[in-house]
Amino acid sequence: MEFRRIFDTIPGQFDQFRPKYSRELFEYLINFAQLGPGKKVLEIGPGTGQATDPILETGCDYHAIELGEHLCAKMREKYDRYPNFHIVNDDFITYDFGRQRFDLVYSAATIQWIPEETAFSKTFELLRPGGILAMMLTKSDYRTPDEELYQKIQKVYGQYFKPETPYTHRGFRYDNAQNYGFVDFREHDFHGRRNMSADEYVSYCGTHCDHIVIPEPYKTLFFEGLRNAVEENGGKIVFEDTYVLYLARKPLNP
């Protein structure tokens, strides 16, 4: 199974343990894109809604396309009560949006799964003139808060982290949007902190695509090792998070 589909095997765990984004990030994005009733928005790959609520609650005409059947079902379970909520269970790469055009297209740690040319060319086409492309991701640091725990966890990775399929999707260049007609590219960083127990940390790690595909017996040994490392270090792990927001605009006269 390709990595971009693997999350669909754990919809409940994904919904409970994947991190959300900062309130300040959404306040900035909503103000920048002037979202509200009358604005049409597309979210690419919402998962189970880690970046959905603040946008949907503006009253905009919210649309989403989600590849995972079970993730899409979880989205419908959570948001079907909203009259402005619309979702399609399909592949962004091949889906035909027809004549639909959007004021904002956004992705929360999803667009990097799409080949660059398709990602930027298709989002450019789907935006109305002057429309916004927003791409967000989280960078997490647990080394700075606790070097000793970090080293213990790295030892566990060295011993037992043996995924069947290596992760090769690093290196997506968000600023390459400028090569496909986008202008006014900019980056904004926002900050937050997460405190997790040993069990919460193990459950969170279990939502990483390359962690899901660790075969036994390594998988059990790996997650037990992570849990023990945190338990032996006070039973808590702290993450200093940086929420990165990339913005680009389709020109008014493309």
Using one digit for the tens of pLDDT, what is the confidence trace for 98-149? 999 999 999 999 999 999 999 999 999 999 999 999 999 999 999 999 999 9
Q: How far apart, in Å, do the first and last CA atoms of the chain sit?
A: 38
Instruction: Return the amino acid letter for 12.
Output: G
Q: pLDDT by residue (tens digit) across 44-60?
A: 999 999 999 999 999 99
> Rounded to whole angstroms, how far apart are CA atoms 29 and 32?
5
Structural domain count of the chain: 1
> Rounded to whole angstroms, how far apart are CA atoms 55 and 43?
9
Q: Is the residue at 22 inside a domain?
A: yes
For 138, the 3-state DSSP assignment is: strand
pLDDT over 80 at 82, yes or no: yes
pLDDT for position 5? 84
Question: For residue 164, how many other CB atoms are within 10 A of its CB?
Answer: 10
Domain that holds residue 201: 3-249
> Rounded to whole angstroms, how far apart are CA atoms 224 and 205?
12
CATH number of the domain where residue 11 is located: 3.40.50.150
Place of tokens 């808060």: 145
Q: Is the residue at 62 inside a domain?
A: yes
Percentage, residues of the chain above pLDDT 90: 91
Residue count of the chain, please give it: 254
Q: pLDDT by residue (tens digit) across 216-246?
A: 999 999 999 999 999 999 999 999 999 999 9
168 band by pLDDT with thresholds 50, 70 and 90: low
Q: Is the residue at 85 inside a domain?
A: yes
Q: Hey, which residues does 245 pair with through a beta bridge?
A: 136, 188
Q: Is the residue at 89 inside a domain?
A: yes
Q: Is the residue at 254 inside a domain?
A: no
Q: What is the pTM of this model?
A: 0.94
Q: Is the residue at 79 inside a domain?
A: yes
